[in-house]
Amino acid sequence: MRTPRAAPALLLAALLLVAASGPAAALAAFAVTRVELVFPNGRGEITVPLRYPQLRAFGMLRFSAVGVVRATWKVDGRILGPVVEPTVFNEDLIVATPELPTFEPGLHKVTLEFTDPKPAFKVPTITYFVTAEDYEDFKRRMEKLK
């Protein structure tokens, strides 16, 4: 049988145990374990005509624990948009870019720069090439081929 004096000591020990294994411990284990970036074609590269509408890239992300991921989509080193998403235990997170700029011909690089958690590996960069042919001209040319 416990004495009344032992109860506060047991309560304190229980609170310390909960604090040590609670949110702080969960956040410490939160890490990026996998990043795959792709375009709608499922690859890390794509070619599109000038002013191609609604081109997006997707990130398939995996984490070691539950938390909130904070990252930034970048195109050619310029900020395109933020990512702030909660993760779900044991499920991959899929995030999409805002519409990618296709108004400038040439090669463009897309990546996801993590703020929290920072990955222990180099995040991939994917590329898209914008041709000099305008999207409307491209559509007309494709219609003629049918």
Domain range summary for the chain, segments of one domain joined by +: 31-145
What is the per-residue pLDDT for 114? 97
Residue 122 pLDDT exceeds 90: yes
Predicted TM-score of the model (pTM): 0.77
Q: How confident is the model at residue 88 (pLDDT cuts 50, 70, 90)?
A: confident
What does the pLDDT look like over 31-76, one tens digit per residue? 999 999 999 999 999 999 999 999 999 999 999 989 999 999 999 9
* Tokens found for residue 89: 């235990």
DSSP 8-state secondary structure symbol assigned to residue 138: H
Instruction: For residue 9, give the amino acid letter.
Output: A
Give the count of beta carbons closer than 10 Å to the beta carbon of residue 119: 16
Work out whether the CA dihedral 41, 45, 51, 53 comes out positive or negative. positive
Chain centroid, CA 76 distance in Å = 17
State which CATH number among 3.40.50.1820, 3.40.50.2300, 2.60.40.10, 3.30.230.10 fits the domain covering 31-145.
Answer: 2.60.40.10
Q: How confident is the model at residue 129 (pLDDT cuts 50, 70, 90)?
A: very high
Determine the Cα angle at 123 with ends 95 and 108, to 5°: 80
Choose between 69 and 26: higher pLDDT. 69
Q: What backbone torsions phi and psi does residue 50 show, to the nearest 5 degrees? A: -55, 135
What is the per-residue pLDDT for 8? 43
What is the per-residue pLDDT for 27? 46
Give the pairing of strands 45-50 and 126-134: parallel
What is the per-residue pLDDT for 146? 82
Smallest CA-to-CA distance from 114 within 87, 141, 143, 142 is with 87
* Tokens found for residue 74: 């970048």
What is the per-residue pLDDT for 77? 97
